[in-house]
Chain A
Amino acid sequence: MKRTNAIFLAATILAWGLIDGAIAQAQPLPPEPAGPEPKPVEPTPTDKPPLPPTGDTGEPSPFPETTRPIEKPTDTYDPNRPKVKLPDHAIDMPMVLTTPTGWILPAAVLYSKTQLDTGGGVTSDNRVGLGDVAEFGVATTDAVRARPDTDTRAERIQPYVTASFRLGVSEDRLFQNQPGLALGFRKSFERNHDGFKTRIAELTLVASKHLGKRVAIHAGGAFWDASLQATTGDAMNRVEETLHGGPDGTLMSGDNLRKQIRPFGGIQVEPIDKSLILIDLGWAPEFCYGDIASACPKGRINLRPELSWGVRYQIADWMQLESGVRVADIQNANLLDAQIFGGITFTSWGLRHAVDSLK
């Protein structure tokens, strides 16, 4: 696990450096949200051409044009300078339904999503955009599941608290037709459940691209890791088992790498303004607490595919309703595993405006 964490950290630093350099080289424009154009700013007195000095009679100045005083640049620190308030606008969401997109939240925009489902799951996802190139979030997920053996139905472990950090570049920022790109890292806090201590971590790289005004696709890959450790029993029982290694502490091998890497993706279509149809395929870890030889022959840590489809309806620029169906472990598709979920998402530009007002 430590080794994997070191790789994650190195990859994150490397990617940060690359993207930071690329942005600097591209001399990015200041963020200009799409949407209605901002109201024209009233020109300050210094913006206007200086009036020629006039005599008491009000006649034009005798000075020629070339001898007029030079215009002074606008004083950006002038407290009386009128402030430009950028209008709020709908944002490209950082999640399809269960998988991340290549779109990063705009700077200082807050995002909060709360979701319920028919299996009794309650999740919450809260994020903030950082400088138009990154976002930080804390979430609870109900996607992680556990079962005592392969014959018993898996049950979700919830709440499972995770923290995430994503960085990336928005669409068309570096060059025309460049997809939105995001490199994300999500890591859980340690969770004790039924006498076992578990953790998960996920490194994702995803690209998102609008195809016209109404369609967008998302495709990416995830590098997963997870650990399972008994909290009771003797020392043999308490050996930590990870996805990248084995119970005997073996190092990464080709087989283990194949177990850790998974593709994911989704598509969204907006046939009518403000109504999106979304489909995505993601992965979630599943733990098996039983003995590997008898109860869990496929291993004690597995990744299971999860298919979701649903709709997102934008009630207001700052509020969206979301609902759909999620089938955990679509590989062994069973109707009884289908969960219907409903959620509400809020986005706020309030913090952004507060930050802008300080400039």
Chain B
Amino acid sequence: MTASSDIVRVGIAMVVTIAALHATPAAADDLRDRSIGHVITAPTAWLPPGGVTATTGLDHHGGTMLSGTISIGPFASVELGGDSEVRICHGCGDTRPDAIWLGRATFKLGASQDQWFVGQPALAFGVRTTFAGKHDTRVAEAFVVASRDLGPIRLHVGASASDGRDERTTAPRRSLRDELRALRPLGGFEWTPGQYPKTSLMGDIAWVPLVEDDAVSARYVTSFAVRYQAFAWSSIELGMNYREAEEIGDSTFFVRVNASARRAR
């Protein structure tokens, strides 16, 4: 199965799902938290409306993630944290690449929905990079994403370019042209049925680098999850993600908790 056919299938599934569910009425009171900057793996164009949002998670392979996001005015946000999304493979052959925990920072600059004209989606341009560490493994990603609230459905569409290397990588450094050629689509959806205003079903596709001896390649990750908005300030997510070139049995199941504290107005 090639990457492109996988993407096409996931895309068709998303479109069909969205088309079928679009007519579902939304709850009168929207309980969904728009301060969370990610669908599952893919970024959203939402910027936190003020205050701090934190996410922590754990998967069944023992991987952990932790992040905190602070808004810098109405146009930007900075996220600091770390996760074990990136894989490294130096002579690993047929065995699974190793997950490596990296400190990450994201800067996102954008405009909120309907800010410039009616019907305008939320737009964001972001850069995500690793903190300097003693392992000298560096990963960076740039992305643009548009998000739109369509009642019970929220759609996220964008593109990203990523790069990474460590001290053992012998591949030559990429130029800007190479980075632009490596631009790949990303996207996701959230569906909140009217009958269950606190529950959202989510799916997304995003790209993470696989760092190898002589090359750095981007591998897609598809994820599905359920988010339950337990409190106005906190939600819990349960889901799974599947990575390109991994066995389906190697899919990762995870649980995450989001919490947000907003500035009193």
Give A119 to B131 CA distance when docked, in angstroms: 6
Any B CB within 8 A of the CB of A335 = yes
Whether A275 and B73, one on each chain, are in contact in the complex, defined by CB atoms closer than 8 angstroms, is yes
Contacts of A21 in B (CB 8 A): none
Any A CB within 8 A of the CB of B144 = no
Any A CB within 8 A of the CB of B76 = yes
* Contact digits for B49-76, partner A, Cβ 8 Å, 1 yes 0 no: 0000000000000000000000011111
Whether A332 and B175, one on each chain, are in contact in the complex, defined by CB atoms closer than 8 angstroms, is yes
- Which of A89-97, A190-198, A309-317 is near enough to bind chain B? A309-317
B162-212: which have CB < 8 Å to A? 162-165, 173-176, 179
Chain A contact-residue range equals 20 to 34
Closest A-chain residue to B132, C-beta based? A120
Any A CB within 8 A of the CB of B99 = no
B101 to chain A: closest CB distance in Å? 16
Whether B175 and A309, one on each chain, are in contact in the complex, defined by CB atoms closer than 8 angstroms, is no
Whether B72 and A313, one on each chain, are in contact in the complex, defined by CB atoms closer than 8 angstroms, is yes
B216 to chain A: closest CB distance in Å? 10
Any A CB within 8 A of the CB of B33 = no
Any B CB within 8 A of the CB of A323 = yes
Any A CB within 8 A of the CB of B105 = yes
* Contact digits for B115-143, partner A, Cβ 8 Å, 1 yes 0 no: 00000000000010111100000111110
Give A98 to B162 CA distance when docked, in angstroms: 25
Number of A-B contacts (CB under 8 A): 86
Contacts of B105 in A (CB 8 A): 118, 340
Closest A-chain residue to B141, C-beta based? A335
B75 to chain A: closest CB distance in Å? 6
A310 to chain B: closest CB distance in Å? 7
Closest B-chain residue to A309, C-beta based? B109
Contacts of A322 in B (CB 8 A): 72
Closest B-chain residue to A269, C-beta based? B75
Any A CB within 8 A of the CB of B254 = no
Contacts of B173 in A (CB 8 A): 332, 334, 336
Give A321 to B173 CA distance when docked, in angstroms: 34
Which listed residue, B73, B109, B132, touches A118 by the CB 8 Å rule?
Answer: B132
Closest B-chain residue to A333, C-beta based? B176
Report if A311-B179 is in contact (Cβ < 8 Å); known contacts: A334-B174, A335-B141. Answer: no
* Contact digits for A322-334, partner B, Cβ 8 Å, 1 yes 0 no: 1111000000111
Contacts of A321 in B (CB 8 A): 72-73
Contacts of A124 in B (CB 8 A): none
Whether A272 and B163, one on each chain, are in contact in the complex, defined by CB atoms closer than 8 angstroms, is no
Any B CB within 8 A of the CB of A339 = yes
Report if A335-B161 is in contact (Cβ < 8 Å); known contacts: A118-B130, A309-B109, A324-B107. Answer: yes
Any A CB within 8 A of the CB of B78 = yes
Give A19 to B162 CA distance when docked, in angstroms: 50
Whether A272 and B73, one on each chain, are in contact in the complex, defined by CB atoms closer than 8 angstroms, is yes
Any B CB within 8 A of the CB of A274 = yes
Closest A-chain residue to B178, C-beta based? A334
Contacts of B165 in A (CB 8 A): 336
Report if A340-B132 is in contact (Cβ < 8 Å); known contacts: A274-B73, A334-B176. Answer: no
Whether B75 and A271, one on each chain, are in contact in the complex, defined by CB atoms closer than 8 angstroms, is yes
Closest B-chain residue to A315, C-beta based? B73
B93 to chain A: closest CB distance in Å? 26
Any B CB within 8 A of the CB of A105 = no
A175-206: which have CB < 8 Å to B? none
Contacts of A144 in B (CB 8 A): none
Report if A335-B140 is in contact (Cβ < 8 Å); known contacts: A118-B105, A118-B131. Answer: yes
26 CB-based A-B contacts, threshold 8 Å? A118-B129, A271-B75, A272-B75, A277-B75, A311-B76, A311-B109, A324-B76, A325-B107, A332-B175, A333-B175, A333-B176, A333-B179, A334-B173, A334-B175, A335-B162, A335-B163, A335-B179, A336-B138, A336-B164, A336-B173, A338-B127, A338-B129, A338-B142, A339-B129, A340-B127, A342-B78
